[in-house]
Amino acid sequence: MPGNTFGTLFRIHTFGESHGPAIGVVIDGCPAGLAIDEAFIQAELDRRRPGQSAIVTQRQEADKAHILSGVFEGRSTGMPIAIVIYNEDARSKDYSHIADKYRPSHADFTYDVKYGHRDYRGGGRSSARETAARVAAGAIAKCWLAEQGVRIHAWVSQVGEVKLEHPWEDLDMSFTETNPVRCPHPETAARMEALIREVRKAGDTVGGVVSAVAIGVPAGWGEPVFDKLHAELGKAILSINACKGFEYGSGFEGAYMRGSQHNDTFYRDAERRIRTRTNYSGGVQGGISNGMDIYFRAAFKPVATIVPAQESVNNAGEVAVVEGRGRHDPCVLPRAVPIVEAMTALVLADMGLRARLARI
Amino acid sequence: MPGNTFGTLFRIHTFGESHGPAIGVVIDGCPAGLAIDEAFIQAELDRRRPGQSAIVTQRQEADKAHILSGVFEGRSTGMPIAIVIYNEDARSKDYSHIADKYRPSHADFTYDVKYGHRDYRGGGRSSARETAARVAAGAIAKCWLAEQGVRIHAWVSQVGEVKLEHPWEDLDMSFTETNPVRCPHPETAARMEALIREVRKAGDTVGGVVSAVAIGVPAGWGEPVFDKLHAELGKAILSINACKGFEYGSGFEGAYMRGSQHNDTFYRDAERRIRTRTNYSGGVQGGISNGMDIYFRAAFKPVATIVPAQESVNNAGEVAVVEGRGRHDPCVLPRAVPIVEAMTALVLADMGLRARLARI
Amino acid sequence: MPGNTFGTLFRIHTFGESHGPAIGVVIDGCPAGLAIDEAFIQAELDRRRPGQSAIVTQRQEADKAHILSGVFEGRSTGMPIAIVIYNEDARSKDYSHIADKYRPSHADFTYDVKYGHRDYRGGGRSSARETAARVAAGAIAKCWLAEQGVRIHAWVSQVGEVKLEHPWEDLDMSFTETNPVRCPHPETAARMEALIREVRKAGDTVGGVVSAVAIGVPAGWGEPVFDKLHAELGKAILSINACKGFEYGSGFEGAYMRGSQHNDTFYRDAERRIRTRTNYSGGVQGGISNGMDIYFRAAFKPVATIVPAQESVNNAGEVAVVEGRGRHDPCVLPRAVPIVEAMTALVLADMGLRARLARI
Amino acid sequence: MPGNTFGTLFRIHTFGESHGPAIGVVIDGCPAGLAIDEAFIQAELDRRRPGQSAIVTQRQEADKAHILSGVFEGRSTGMPIAIVIYNEDARSKDYSHIADKYRPSHADFTYDVKYGHRDYRGGGRSSARETAARVAAGAIAKCWLAEQGVRIHAWVSQVGEVKLEHPWEDLDMSFTETNPVRCPHPETAARMEALIREVRKAGDTVGGVVSAVAIGVPAGWGEPVFDKLHAELGKAILSINACKGFEYGSGFEGAYMRGSQHNDTFYRDAERRIRTRTNYSGGVQGGISNGMDIYFRAAFKPVATIVPAQESVNNAGEVAVVEGRGRHDPCVLPRAVPIVEAMTALVLADMGLRARLARI
């Protein structure tokens, strides 16, 4: 069974290669009657698109979304919504020099072993360009979630050794989009940006962490056993290019803790809602949301494309040298923010629909 | 769509509650002709079962697997393999005192909100007892994987503040099963065990980390985009009760690194196989195995059931006090090891079958 | 992907062989809070079970349903409902004489070619015994449907050349269960029964037709394009052993008609409901129910097991002679009635749940 | 779960409305390395397209296929193959007069009830225009099947009361494409064509039957229990617009037969292959192909759009009169032939891939 589909009820199928005619997505399962805000879809794509600032790749792509189906008179019809983004700046010549070489820590070697026949132009389907389709679909999921009172924020909380140490509850998320790094703490953002510039100057790249929170998720979303809310979130986030780790709630810190310390005791608040005094659970208990904020962190490795020459082999197994010539990001983190939000939105929309089936 | 199914081609459906008549699993998609070693299935269940040592729950369950279908004359027939484990020590009375109370950091509240009607005996389906079904199924996946030359080892690498700092390549895995903690480093194991005993004495619980490695996975397993090998692994592991985080390869450490440092350069070894000099990729590139060892770490929170009284509410929203009376584990880690292995085996078997479809 | 699962949201997984320890089903997706009537499940199984009358197979099976999970205090919990039926009268010796021979028009040859390794006892999984699991699951689907006001009737409308020519609207369905053939027209039932007795005496078997109607299905159930309500019904019914054809509404007669004759014009009835004057559409338009009665017919071939010797080959490709010795039905139709109803119920319950997702 | 996906391993997702910007399909699961013959895809679409002869609708659509992904240097890459067909002759004004009326025996009413919000232009997604996407995808399935030695023929065997009575084995399929009706018997074709012209003159429409055969399917394709080869074929064919019935092998005639007559006895032919002397099984036994020809028949109702005024209601429930003004087919049968072939190809390709998983 192919791996280009995500979700069960709110479901997307993506397609397209970095340097083919287009990339795109079919969203199947969006309920009828939803107002589809095309300007918002475009705005989300603009947050992800290359060339948006000095610290991301300079490939020129307008990433203009074309809706081909499923929307009539501004609202979803319940039919599949197909969105196509045509590739514009697809300079295939840039990549001919690596057609037969395996770039270290890219997918060139594994695709070749698996499929025998590979579109090597810009990484083909393994390129992070594929994630634009996710962002377009995520924008529609966000429209539906907004109607349920759910909102999602992601931000860069670490670039290399520069970490944002403040608890997320203390941050003002309105700062996130005010700087090219997408860190809501301006002073830390400046240090992160300086580091990215320095790394880029060296022809190198650097990793980091994106943090995220979903606010307003009603209690009761998520499924028992395998499709736990946090397990689906984990898969969603780990499927983003370059992601190496996922933790939610207490995460890896929870390994150090005692039960008496980690347990989130229940109480009733002034509005008589059942709440927990702490939230080490990260808003999810037994795989199902409990109405508290859902928060998580995702680690990203440094981008694999670097300028210095690297040892490698070619598809004949001969020794080869790979040099980075394509346009690339020195740090994937700033552009990862909207992608993390999109994947989170897709999981939550799916779980929101699944929750409709729980009772007779 | 219900969440009790895992896998796409090698697929399992589990069922059963902690204190109902039985738990079980239907394995659908196991190819015909596989030798099914019932003693091995039982041995795997014995590694997970309660009462196996002094540092785990003392609930008495033989966890005897009964195969109801799909095996004929010792071999799989390609038909669904149903395995049932009858519950024996199901003292429902133990749980009547919490029938209407929400135990902190359990799934009581979320199940009630979602379903309205809940089997509260021992947590019902949210009990970790459910994982016995996973272990039985995982044993069959391991049988198939063994025929492909794949083997999987998991072990406890952290309990609370006691960490195993040795690189895993230096460990002798044959020590893992020689101590009740399942840590392959005897001296560290002893310190972990001491900590667990101390915590138990205090009526408390403690978290930790399981590490795992899959050796011998051929290059070419895993799917592009959403169903990346590590994303499916992440979901599988995160779906285990109490798991809070998953990282593979460089993981969260990768966030600190530079591309020039993190990239795994290619070379050809003496047997003319393409290998990488380092393995920060954790054996997976672009979501597809590259033939190197696949390794990952999983964080587990402390068990939620503790002895001291805790503040809570009941299902009428009234203030309530919860006290731990049921038999429970002071530390889930030792019993998590076979579960982590089982989930890893299920993902790999599924990916191994999916890899058969890559080429004409 | 294995073929032992049916349905998408109201979903069943079946397992088990004719002469193994048990057959069974896991029902996943039944909403929580449904009253589960165990006596009704058993009554449905009794309608299908062998030995119920003189004109069906004399194999002795109580077909007692054991619920292993998913039901607590008489109601569904939203968790998987596992039902097991242990095989009692599994005389494996009956079948040793055909272990290596391919019985004509059975699945012996095709299973051997496909799987290499086959449970030949009584046809193994290809035995119609498998359908008991469907009937048990269908009973639960019927419970849910009853709450939606939907009821399903099936009956035998043809046995060999004996046909019930009356329009179904004129029949009194309360007669269906009053005769062993399950034909609601007593006089025709008597002729059908006589034919079955005659055929059995000759050691032969005979085919026939089951007709069915679903009354009270609300408008709006069914999905566009591939999962049209009638397409899912067709698959469901065609998957029953021995089924050779399916038609709904006007069916094959519709091929002779003109549009001006076949079109079902709309009007509003006294209760201001939109209805159609005729119902050649069979209650489904564009794959979605329109609130009219859904009706269809299903053709069944004669049972393949007959007494006279038949030419065949064995698994070494040598000429062989097959003689019918096992206990078998002279006519599958009477026992097909509850199976057709069960499959119809499973499709409708699934579509009823899917309909919850159509709108924001 | 949405209904716009067909298949499990060779899987398609379709999208698009009759009068939106485009229709299209994403084919996911086509193995890598397959030569993709774009001219063949176009030729298949040309067999289905409107305006191809005097007896089909005169809507003008070039139905030009644009491949957006998944093909590189003429061969499939294993990645999703997206194909888009832009709508050209989408005169929306033609449909404004029926925007609020329910055309008899169309999907207008059922879509409105289900979704509330509907693209009424030309039937939107319920239009048979959707089937162009199936034909494009089916062409790729045919490419893969041709490599396995499988070929598929469909033809018109009945139009209204004009039936082709010859056994299909006696027909010369090369005549099928020599006449606009697609009946391989020229004399019968002429009578069918005359009937269609007569019906069209009267502003009416007429139903009919498509027959089909798949030759060269290896023994062992198809799955036990629910996903039987003929059950999947039945669903596939019944999902085509206007299809009312499906029968395979002996079909409804089998209901009249005795087992002694219907059973297909086995023998070994001169090439030592196991064959059956008759083929009432239609090439499928126990849901799995046995190597004999697979044949079936599908009934189609008359097209619902007719010229004479018809009684109806509008979406306010008021009495309305519907007149046929759009361009439409007097008989859907000639254009149904390539659609039936496409759906057959999609089922067989899927089953061919699934068969790879049967054994260790």
Name the 3-class secondary structure at A116.
coil
Sign (positive/negative) of CA torsion C255, C260, C261, C265?
Answer: positive
List helix spans (H) across chain A.
Answer: 38-48, 108-115, 131-147, 186-201, 229-238, 259-262, 333-354
Q: Which chain D positions have a beta carbon within 8 Å of B76's beta carbon?
A: 360
* Residue matched to tokens 């993981």: B251
CA dihedral (C351, C355, C358, D4) in degrees, to 10, reads 0
**With an 8 Å Cβ cutoff, are C32 and A144 in contact?**
no
Q: Which chain B positions have a beta carbon within 8 Å of D69's beta carbon?
A: none
| Better-scored residue on pLDDT, B78 or C61 | B78
Which pLDDT belongs to residue C92?
A: 58
Closest CA to D292 of D344, D218, D356, D232: D218
Does residue B300 contact residue B208 with C-beta atoms inside 8 Å?
yes
Phi-psi category of C36—alpha, beta or left, where left has phi over 0 and alpha has psi -120 to 50?
beta
User: Cα separation of B328 and C333, whole Å?
Assistant: 54
Contacts of B198 (CB under 8 A, 6+ apart): none
Asked whether the predicted pLDDT for residue A326 surpasses 90, the reply is no
Confidence of residue D93 (pLDDT cuts 50, 70, 90): low
Closest CA to A241 of B285, C45, D204, C208: B285
CB pairs under 8 A between B and D: 42
Name the 3-class secondary structure at A118.
coil
Through-space distance between the first and last CA atoms of chain C, rounded to whole angstroms: 32
Q: Which chain B positions have a beta carbon within 8 Å of D359's beta carbon?
A: 31-33, 78
Asked whether the predicted pLDDT for residue D60 surpasses 90, the reply is no
Q: How far is CA B313 from CA A279, A283, B104, B109, B336, in A?
A: 16, 17, 9, 9, 30
Please calculate the CA angle A200-A201-A204 and round it to the nearest 5 degrees. Answer: 45
Does residue A63 contact residue A45 with C-beta atoms inside 8 Å?
yes
User: Cα separation of C4 and D89, whole Å?
Assistant: 45
Which pLDDT belongs to residue A91?
A: 61
Largest CA distance in chain B: 70
Contacts of D139 (CB under 8 A, 6+ apart): D37, D40, D41, D43, D44, D45, D342, D345
Does residue C32 contact residue B124 with C-beta atoms inside 8 Å?
no
Closest CA to B81 of B20, B16, B17, B36: B36
Find which of A100, A113, A307, A333 to mutate to test the B interface (most B CBs within 10 Å of its CB).
A113
Name the 3-class secondary structure at D93.
helix
User: Cα separation of A114 and A107, whole Å?
Assistant: 10
DSSP state of C31: P
**With an 8 Å Cβ cutoff, are B32 and D356 in contact?**
no
**With an 8 Å Cβ cutoff, are B80 and C14 in contact?**
yes
Which pLDDT belongs to residue B99?
A: 85
Per-run averaged pLDDT (10 residues), chain B, 360 residues: 93 96 98 97 95 85 95 97 90 72 95 93 92 98 98 98 93 96 97 97 97 98 98 98 98 98 96 96 98 98 94 91 81 97 98 97
* pLDDT, tens digit, 9 for 90 and up, residues D27-54: 999 999 999 999 999 999 999 998 898 8
Q: For the residues C45-70, what does the mean pLDDT come to?
A: 91
CA distance B63 to chain A (A): 19
CA distance A354 to chain D (A): 10
Name the 3-class secondary structure at C244.
strand
Which pLDDT belongs to residue B91?
A: 61
Q: Annotate A286-354 with DSSP letters as a single string.
A: TTEE-SSPEEEEEEEPPPS--SS-EEEEBTTS-EEEE---S---S-SHHHHHHHHHHHHHHHHHHHHHH
Does residue A64 contact residue A86 with C-beta atoms inside 8 Å?
yes
Asked whether the predicted pLDDT for residue C93 surpasses 70, the reply is no
Which pLDDT belongs to residue A133?
A: 98
Confidence of residue C91 (pLDDT cuts 50, 70, 90): low
Beta bridge partners of C258: D206
Asked whether the predicted pLDDT for residue C88 surpasses 90, the reply is no
Q: For the residues A284-298, what does the mean pLDDT come to?
A: 98
CA distance C164 to chain B (A): 39
Confidence of residue D92 (pLDDT cuts 50, 70, 90): low
Confidence of residue D326 (pLDDT cuts 50, 70, 90): low
Q: For the residues C124-141, what does the mean pLDDT come to?
A: 96
Find which of C161, C295, C301 to mutate to test the D interface (most D CBs within 10 Å of its CB).
C301
* Residue matched to tokens 């009068």: D19
* pLDDT, tens digit, 9 for 90 and up, residues B205-250: 999 999 999 999 999 999 999 999 999 999 999 999 999 999 999 9
Q: How far is CA C99 from CA B33, C95, C121, in A?
A: 17, 6, 7
Does residue D149 contact residue D331 with C-beta atoms inside 8 Å?
no
Which pLDDT belongs to residue D94?
A: 65
**With an 8 Å Cβ cutoff, are B79 and C125 in contact?**
yes
- pTM of the complete model: 0.98
**With an 8 Å Cβ cutoff, are A80 and D15 in contact?**
yes
DSSP state of D32: B
Closest CA to C212 of C301, C150, C128, C137: C150
Does residue B25 contact residue B346 with C-beta atoms inside 8 Å?
no
Residue of D nearest to C282 (CA): D244
Task: Choose among A2, A115, A124: nearest Cβ to D28.
Answer: A2
Asked whether the predicted pLDDT for residue D59 surpasses 90, the reply is no
Query: How buried is B156 (Cβ within 10 angstroms: 0-12 exposed, 13-18 middle, 19+ buried)?
Result: buried
CA distance A183 to chain D (A): 35
Q: Which CATH class is domain D5-355?
A: alpha beta
Confidence of residue A179 (pLDDT cuts 50, 70, 90): very high
User: Cα separation of B296 and B210, whole Å?
Assistant: 9
Which pLDDT belongs to residue C215?
A: 98
User: Cα separation of A8 and C8, whole Å?
Assistant: 10
User: Cα separation of D1 and C358, whole Å?
Assistant: 10
Looking at the predicted complex, does its ipTM rise above 0.95?
A: yes
User: Chain-wide mean pLDDT for chain D?
Assistant: 95
Find which of D225, D240, D253, D275 to mutate to test the C interface (most C CBs within 10 Å of its CB).
D225
Does residue D37 contact residue D145 with C-beta atoms inside 8 Å?
no
* pLDDT, tens digit, 9 for 90 and up, residues A217-254: 999 999 999 999 999 999 999 999 999 999 999 999 99
**With an 8 Å Cβ cutoff, are D359 and C158 in contact?**
no
Asked whether the predicted pLDDT for residue D290 surpasses 70, the reply is yes
**With an 8 Å Cβ cutoff, are C104 and D310 in contact?**
no
Task: Choose among C302, C317, C358: nearest Cβ to D272.
Answer: C317
Does residue B250 contact residue B257 with C-beta atoms inside 8 Å?
yes
CA distance C220 to chain A (A): 13
Residue of B nearest to C15 (CA): B80
Task: Choose among C227, C259, C306: nearest Cβ to D304.
Answer: C259
* pLDDT, tens digit, 9 for 90 and up, residues C142-189: 999 999 999 999 999 999 999 998 888 899 999 999 999 999 999 999
Does residue D105 contact residue D324 with C-beta atoms inside 8 Å?
no
Q: What are phi and psi of D32, to 5 degrees?
A: -70, 150
Q: What are phi and psi of A192, to 5 degrees?
A: -65, -45
Tokens representing B51 are 């009462």
User: Cα separation of B82 and B69, whole Å?
Assistant: 5
**With an 8 Å Cβ cutoff, are B356 and D356 in contact?**
yes
Q: Domain limits of chain C?
A: 5-355
Which pLDDT belongs to residue A47?
A: 96
Q: For the residues C314-332, what does the mean pLDDT come to?
A: 86
Contacts of A288 (CB under 8 A, 6+ apart): A219, A220, A221, A222, A223, A224, A228, A229, B107, B110, B111, B113, B114
Q: For the residues C192-214, what does the mean pLDDT come to?
A: 97
CA distance D330 to chain A (A): 28
Q: Which chain A positions have a beta carbon within 8 Å of B244's beta carbon?
A: 247-252, 254-255, 282
**With an 8 Å Cβ cutoff, are B80 and C17 in contact?**
no
